[in-house]
Chain A
Amino acid sequence: MKKLMEIALGIVTSVGGFLEIGSITTAAQAGAEFSFQLIWAILLGGVCIIFLVEQSGRFTAVSGRTIPDAIRERFGANYFLFLYVILGIVSLLVLGAEIGGVCIALELATGIGFQYWVVPAAFVIWLVIWKGTFGLIEKGVSVLGLVTLCFVVGAFVVHPPWHQVLQGALPTLPHHDHARYWFIAVSILGASISPYLFFFYSSGAIEDEWDESYVGVNRIIATGGMSFGTLISIAVLILAAFILLPRGIKVEHYSQLPLLLVPVFGRWGFWLLVASLGVACLGAAMEITLEIAYLTAQGFGWNWSENQRPSAEARFSLTYTITILLAAIFVLAGIDPLKLTIFSMALTAATLPVSIVPFLFLMNDQLYVRGYRNSWFSNSVVLLIIGLAFLLAVVTIPLQIFGGN
C-alpha cells in the first residue's frame, strides 16, 4: 500500500513538475508555425527522457550513488570538470529563463514590468530552498503544477481534428521555412531531454532514500510521469495550432501566451495561464538551482542534502545562493526572457552528448548496477539517444543562425 501511494505521488509530482518555460514556449511556437507537424519531436523527446530518467533512478536505487558522483569516479576528475562547466553554464541560462518565466507570469498578473519582479522572485526561490525540505519542493510545488493540466482540458475542449494530430506523430517534411522547422524541432528536443531532469531525479532518489526495492516503483514513476508530462506539451502544441495558427499569430513574446487559453476558457483562461506559467517556472527554477548545487557538492565531495539545515552544509547552501544570484543577474541585465529561453534550449541540445554518453558505461557496469544492468533493448535506445545527441550538437548552431529568427 505504501509503495502504491509512493507511485501515485511520484507520477503526480512528475506530471506537475514536467512542464517548464522551455517546453511551453517551444511547443507553442511549433503549433503556431507548423500546426501538428512537430508532435513527433515532442514524442521523441518524451521517449528519450523516459529512458534516461528510468535509468538514472535505477542506477541510484541500486548503487546508492548519484550519476554525477559516479561519473567523477568512473571517468575521472577532468571529465567531470568538463561536464560540470558545460552543464553549469547551460543550467544557469535555463535557470535565468525560468526566473524570467516567473517574472513574466507576475507581470501578466499585475501589469508591473517583469524586471521589477526579478529580485522578489529570486528571493522567494532562495527562501523556499533555504527553509524548505526536499519533500516540500518535490511534492508541494509539483502538486501545484497540476494546474498545467488545464492545457490538456483545453486541447480536448477545442475538438481538434484528431486524425491530423495522430498524423503529426510521424515525422514529415515542412512545406515552408525548413531551417525554422528543424530549429524548433531541435529546441523541443533540448527542452524535453534536459540533463537537469535526470540529474535532479538521481539526487532525489537519494534524498527519498530509495534502495533496490524501488527499482519497479522507479520504472512506473518514470514511464507514467514523463508520458503524462509529454501529453501536456502536446496539448500546448494543439492549442497553438488550433488558436494561433489560423490567425497567423507567431509566438514571439510571452505576452502572447494567454492567447492560448483565453479563447477557450475566457477570463479563467487568462488566470489559468498565469498560474501555469508561474508555478511551472517556479518549480523548475527550484529544481535547476538544486541540481547545480547537487552537481557541485557531489563533484567536489561535499556534504549535501536539501533535508539538512543550511548551517550543516554551508558550502552546499552557499552554492545555491550564488547560483540564484548569477541567474537573476542574467534576467536583470535586460535579456528578453523568450530569446533567453529559446537560446538556452538550443544550447542544451548542443551539449547533450557530454551528459548522455556516460550512461552507456555506467548502466552496464556491474560494480555499480550489479544484476540491474541495461538490457540489449535499453542499450540500443541509449545508443540511439547518443546518436541523436551528437546530431543535435552538430546541427544546432547552424540552425540557430538560419532558423532561430
Chain B
Amino acid sequence: VRASKVFLLLAILLFGGLLESAWRVREQLDVGPAGCRVLGGKFYGPSFSFESEAQLTAGASPEVVVENAFGSVTIGAGGDGRVHARLRSVVFLPTEEAARAFASRVRLLTSREGERISVGTNRSELRSSDVGLETHLVIEVPAAAAVKVENEHGGLNVGGVATARLNNAFGDVSLARVAGAAEVVARHGEVTVEGVGGELTLAHRYGDARVEDVAGAARLEAQHGELRVQRVGGVRGRLQHANLKVEAVRGDLEVTGEHAAVEARDIAGAARVQTSYRRIAVAGVSGEARLTTSHGPLSAQDVGGPLLAESSYEDVSVAGIAGPVQIKVEHGGVSARGLERGGRIACSGDDVEVDGFGGVLEIEAQRGDVRVTPRTALGSGLSVRAANGAVELEVPAGSRFELEASASDGEVHVALDDVKATTTGRGLFKGRVGAGGAAVKLAAEHGDVTLRRPENRSAERE
C-alpha cells in the first residue's frame, strides 16, 4: 500500500471527524443549568409542557411521601382534607406532536395506604429513553400533614406543614412554617429554613444555608459552605471547610469544626467551640465559653461566665469577661481587657497585654513582654513570669500589696513614691506598697521588671 493512499485515508477521516465536531458544536452548544457551556445532553433545544393532576382524600394526620427527580417539588398547605397533586411534564423534543406522544407515557402516580399517601411519577420506567424529561410537582396537603420528600436535580419548596423530612440534591431547598420538627439533607444547592416549631436537623454539603426562627435546637452538619443562623433554641454543629455565623441563640452553642470559622453573637447559654485553621469570634455569651482553635485567631467579648481560650499560631483577644479566664496561646500573643475575676494566662511567642482586671491573675510568658495595667487600685494577688521578655506593671494610686520583683540578667525599676523596700539587691526588690496586702510577684528572665504610676507612662516612653 502506497504511503499516499494511507495519507489520503487519514486525511478523509480527519475531515469527516472535523465536520462531525463542528456540527455538534453548532447544534448542541448551549448554556447549562450552572451557567456553563456544555456539549450534548438531553435537556436542550425545543421543549413542550403538559399537565395532569390527581386528588386523594387524606386521613386526620396524613403522611405524604413524594419522590421525584429532574424537576421541582412545591408543597403547600391548603388541601382541605385532601391531597391535590399537579404534574407539569416538560418534554425536550423538536416537535409538539413528538413531545405530546412521549408525554402520554408520563403518568402522575398517587396512592393511599392507611394514613400514608404517596405521590410520584413513572419516570423511572422511561429512564432508558434518550428524551429530556422534567417533572415538576405542585402538591397541596392538609396543614396536619407530615411530609417526606426525596428529590434530585430540582428545587424543593415546602411550607405550612406539620413536620418535614427533605432530601434533595442538585437544587435549592426552601422550607418555611413547619409546626413541628424538620429534617433537611441537601447537597449542591442553597438551603433556606424559616420558622420551625420544633427541632431542626440540617445536613448540608456544597452550598450556603440560612436558618432563622427555630423554636427548638438546631443540629447542623455542613461541608463546604457558609451557614447563617439566627434566632434558634440552641446550636449543635459539625463543620468541615464551612463557616458558621450565628446570632441570637436561646440555648447553648456547641460546635466542632475543621478548617471552619465560627462567629457567634448573643448566646443565652454556654458556648463551646473547637475548630482549626480559621477564626473563632464570640460576643455576648451569658454562660461559660470554652473556645479552642489551632492555627486561627480567637476573640471573645462580653462573656458572663468562665472563659477557656486556647489557640496556636495566632493571637487571642478577650474583653469583658465576668468569670475567671484560662488562656493558653502558643506562638501568638494575648490582649485582654476587663478580666473581672482574674485567671491564668500562659503565652509563648509574643506579648501579653492585660488592661483592667480583678481577682487573682497569673501570667506566664515565654519569648514575649508582659504589660499589666490595672484600672483600679491594685489589692489582689498578681503573679507574672516572663522568660526572655520584660515585665511592666502600672500601679494606680491607692494600691496596696506586698511586692517581690526579680530580674535575672536584667534590672528592677520601681518608680513608686509609696513603697517601702525590705530587701534590695542585684535584680531583686522586695517591699511593701501602701499598707501592704496581697502578694504581687513579678519575675523576668533576660528582661527588666518595671513598676510605675499610670500617669508616668507616656513621659517615660517619650
A binds B: no
Binding site for B on A (CB under 8 A): none
